[in-house]
Structure 1
Amino acid sequence: MKRLWMLIKETVITLLVALALSLVLRTYVVEARVVPTGSMLPTIQINDRLLVNKFIYDFTTPERGEIIVFAPPEVLSSENDYLKRVIGLPGEVVEVKSGEVFINGVALKESYQHDRPDYNFGPVRVPDNAIFVLGDNRNESYDSHAWGAWLTLDRIKGKAFLRYWPLKHFAMLH
């Protein structure tokens, strides 16, 4: 009987420690996400499952080309997080014209976009403490060009870094 009680006690303690660790990991370190829209096609498909590094931007700032998860700007009155690519950095001038994105007057080389943008936007200067984000599916993405604004850094929740599902598309994100 004493041996059974010890086994139950060890099992309960192990489960409680595992639960506590998973809550800490999910809250502060890494979180799984399901992609609900096609705004990042062809890079990320609808219903792909991604892992998001939630602490990376505590130590560094976003870089152009990174795919981030964020709370949308307050003007959108949305509860759902968004997933987009970082395009413009603080202090840069962003413009979209003639099917290309320009940063400080220089066209970006973008192998990841679905279609060339069929709209014009800007030029706008990205303020300090903000970034400009676009979906890879430029013409079907509700992003900075559609909001007519940028995203403040405090709204960023993390960097999407790995697609783990479906398994046949398992890969690091770039």
Structure 2
Amino acid sequence: MPLLIGIALVLALLIKTFLVQAFSIPSDSMQHTLERGDRVLVDKLTPWFGSKPSRGEVVVFHDPGGWLGENPPASGNAVTRGVQKGLSFIGLMPSAEEKDLIKRVIGVGGDTVECNGTGPVKVNGKALDEPYVFAGNTPCTPDRPFKVTVPKGRIWVMGDHRQDSLDSRYHMTLPGGGTVSDNEVVGRAVTVAWPVNRWDWLSIPSTFSQPGINAAGTAGPAAVGLLGAAPLVLMRRRKLLRAQPPVTAETEED
């Protein structure tokens, strides 16, 4: 029995470290997509293979510095704190002390994200249709207009409860200009695992795949690729023409 328990604990630790980890939602900033107290499962595997955050994903990330005021205080009971620390270490319970946040990715490196007045939010000039925004909220807050070009290797994040989320808009004066480094991202939240009556898959909304939304990020590389390929194509064509035997004209007499 001790051996089986030890194996189970090691497996749980490996799963938490490399595959999936549970996180508790500490605030109302992602309502109603996520409610305070929900437990979500976060995919930690794909980042190991070089996967980067994508627009529309709900991601957990470490505090970039100066963001947090959302985590609840740790329990005052020493026994409770000890049990929670032990279980969270092996991934069987979310930690109450980890300085992590959860938001939705709106823009990735190279994107221009902007909003004025009450919205809509625009990514590379394309307006987003955001049915996930908290009922009664507007996509943007009039006193927080912004227009940013997200640096490479960083993301722009916003909470679904727009008027109750201290997201990228509120940290533009900090290093990074409100953006979060890809390296700070723990992983993508893929499902609500608890409570049972709230089981749900956190899919990417279709508005983030609308035609033309990638134009700003792909037009440049595509054009450079085309310009770089054109001379190679011309050189290859000349070589093929030189390699062909000369064509002689034949005449016929009646």
Separation (CA, whole Å) in 2 of partners of 1:32 and 1:77:
19
Aligned match of 2:48:
58
Structure 1 residue 153 corresponds to structure 2 residue 182: yes
Separation (CA, whole Å) in 1 of partners of 2:145 and 2:18:
36
Aligned match of 2:239:
none
Aligned match of 1:81:
100
- Which structure: greater helix fraction? 2
- How far did residue 162 of structure 1 move? 1.0
Q: In 1, are the aligned partners of 2:59 and 2:102 still within 8 Å (CA)?
A: yes
- TM-score, L = length of structure 2: 0.61
Which of 28, 43, 49 is the aligned partner of 2:33?
Answer: 43
Aligned match of 1:135:
159
- RMSD over aligned Cα atoms: 1.5
Separation (CA, whole Å) in 2 of partners of 1:77 and 1:44:
18
The structure whose Rg is larger is 2
- How far did residue 152 of structure 1 move? 0.6
Aligned match of 1:172:
201
The residue type equivalent to 1:74 in the other structure is G
Structure 1 residue 118 corresponds to structure 2 residue 118: no
Q: Give 5+ residue unaligned stretches, structure 2.
A: 70-97, 173-177, 204-254
The residue type equivalent to 1:69 in the other structure is V
- How far did residue 20 of structure 1 move? 0.7
- Higher mean displacement: 83-92 or 163-172: 163-172
After superposition, what is the alpha-carbon deviation per residue over 1:58-106, rounded to whole angstroms, capped at 9, x for unaligned?
2321111100000121243776200000000110111111322111122
Separation (CA, whole Å) in 2 of partners of 1:22 and 1:50:
16
Aligned match of 1:95:
114
Separation (CA, whole Å) in 1 of partners of 2:63 and 2:126:
27
Separation (CA, whole Å) in 1 of partners of 2:66 and 2:181:
12
Runs of 4+ off more than 4 Å: none
Separation (CA, whole Å) in 1 of partners of 2:67 and 2:52:
24
Separation (CA, whole Å) in 2 of partners of 1:121 and 1:72:
23
Aligned match of 2:8:
18
SS at match of 1:74: coil
- TM-score, L = length of structure 1: 0.88
Which of 19, 22, 27 is the aligned partner of 1:29?
Answer: 19
SS at match of 2:121: strand
Q: In 1, are the aligned partners of 2:53 and 2:105 still within 8 Å (CA)?
A: yes
Seq. identity, %: 35
Q: How many pairs are equivalent?
A: 164
Which of 58, 69, 79 is the aligned partner of 1:67?
Answer: 58
Separation (CA, whole Å) in 2 of partners of 1:105 and 1:118:
19
- How far did residue 109 of structure 1 move? 1.3
